[in-house]
Structure 1
Amino acid sequence: MKDKSPIGLETIEVAPLHEVVYQRLTHALMSGQIKPGQKLTSRKIAHELGTSDMPVRAALMKLQSLKALDQLPNGSLTLPVMTRQRFADLMSTRLVCEVAAARAAADAFKKAELKAIQNASSALTQAAKNKDIDDYLLRNYEFKFMIYRACHSESLIFLIETLWLQVGPFLRQFGSSYAGNLEAILDIDYHEEIVEALGRGDGDAAAEALRKDIADGMAFLLEHGEFQ
């Protein structure tokens, strides 16, 4: 008789296609890869991703419910109009959620996570020196979310992701505001101070450095950004 007892293998989990599409789109939105005003249609996105139309529609509907996209009369979707008041509200809420996550991360992160955060910080600095706004926005997103995920609070991460879905694309205005001198953005970027504080396990210092990072960026764009 053959032995049918389990041998300790874990089941293979495959994410539904619509969830994979949703993750691709949220990553593009939060890292500023989709430009404000850019129209999105399920057909074009499905063609680019090599999928059918249905999982893309499901992902777009979910993003619309989170106020990351607005529907136009012709059925296509676009990023919501960014007003000065809406931007200030989103950034002020970021100050509450992200500062709390940074403080918690100082007590919860693992050594491997700190090393990854340090590497991401170096890549962020280099992107600014290279004057590459696309790479800078991507590295900025990766750096900050490594910190937030290190706090291991699912509720905080969900709230922060929802905020970034709305504000991430507008951060592209840093590129036009600095008119080719993107390296100057490092004057209002405190990621190195955040890393140093996390390395010391100083949650208050990490939270304060992140607060200044968000607040200074908010002040700069409120002064120099183009709002509708």
Structure 2
Amino acid sequence: MEFRQLHYFLAVAEELNFSQAARRLNMAPMTLKTYRERFPDVELVVLGMTTEQQVEAIHNKQIQAGFVVPPLQHKAEDVVVETVLEEPMVLALPEAHPLTAQSKVKVRSLANEAFILGQRNSGCGWYDQVIALCRQANFSPQVAQEVNEMQVLLGLVAAGLGVAILSGAAKQFQRSGVVYRDLQPSSTEVALAIAYRMSEQSLILQAFLEIMRETSAFFKQRQ
């Protein structure tokens, strides 16, 4: 196989680590580990970028692939977005919040709550997904804060400044003062996807995508 670099990045740290692709069920680390074992002569360059930066870099042939949270606000026509994993959304609450008494919380019961969200201007679909979820429950969320760091978000929730809707992987972030609850409807899910150029012919990238799909199938069987 031709020796080339695969510029692979985890935009997972993107906007609040909202995609959480790097940690999310350990999918990305497992993919990276498997790839390095099979192709030890290929250098993987891991970059941190927002979703919008990733899409632009892929379009401009600066990188080959990246993890994103669809739907994307701006997507170039030559960029493919392939879903690799879906998982339920969860609600992060201050530990003294009355809704912590419920094992599952209906989305419509959050109509009067202050929301803490990730910044929308970075191109991540997470912000829009939360807004759409609330509108499906017939209300528009009251956005109190927009932040770009997961620990900052959880700190604000712990301080009682609002609630947050996150992917299920957020439960890995055990923060004092924060309680997680499942949402109703339980079918509500957030997707993790990998983005790449439609015209990309690199054999190294194609091998990476195949390993990513194998890993995706493994985690789907465990869900």
TM range (shorter): under 0.3
**Structure index of larger Rg:** 1
Q: TM-score when scaled to structure 2?
A: 0.21
Higher helix proportion, which one? 1
Higher strand proportion, which one? 2
